[in-house]
Amino acid sequence: METGIGRIVASPHEIKKLRAEFGNKIKIVVQGIRPTWAEPGDQKRFMTPRRAIEAGADYIGIGRPITTHPDPSEAVAKILQELAR
């Protein structure tokens, strides 16, 4: 990429467009990730971890589904199980 940008933070709904435009020249960091068992809350443009990775995300940010879960370790384990399927 001519600007020297190595990473970009984007909505999950922009992943495919960014990947098509830049290929693997940039890393795509995606927020607004909600596991299948989590409520979207105030997120309007969310996606599951699996769908985001399948769409081309390099990194995913998962906040409240983990931090507000009664057992954050269990939440992480559930997310990892979801990704392993």
Alpha carbon separation from 49 to 1, 4, 43, 59, 63 (Å, rounded): 26, 28, 14, 10, 12
The CATH architecture to which 7-84 belongs is Alpha-Beta Barrel (3.20)
* Residues paired with residue 27 on neighbouring β-strands, in sequence order: 7
Give pLDDT tens digits for 45-78: 899 999 999 999 999 999 999 999 999 999 999 9
Q: Determine the Cα–Cα distance for residues 62 and 78; give it in Å rounded to an integer.
A: 12
Give the pairing type, strands 59-60 and 27-30: parallel
> pTM of the predicted model, to two decimals?
0.84
Task: Kindly list the domain boundaries of the chain, sorted by start residue.
Answer: 7-84
Sheet containing strand 59-60, strands side by side: 7-10, 27-30, 59-60
pLDDT tens digits, 3-12 = 678 999 999 9
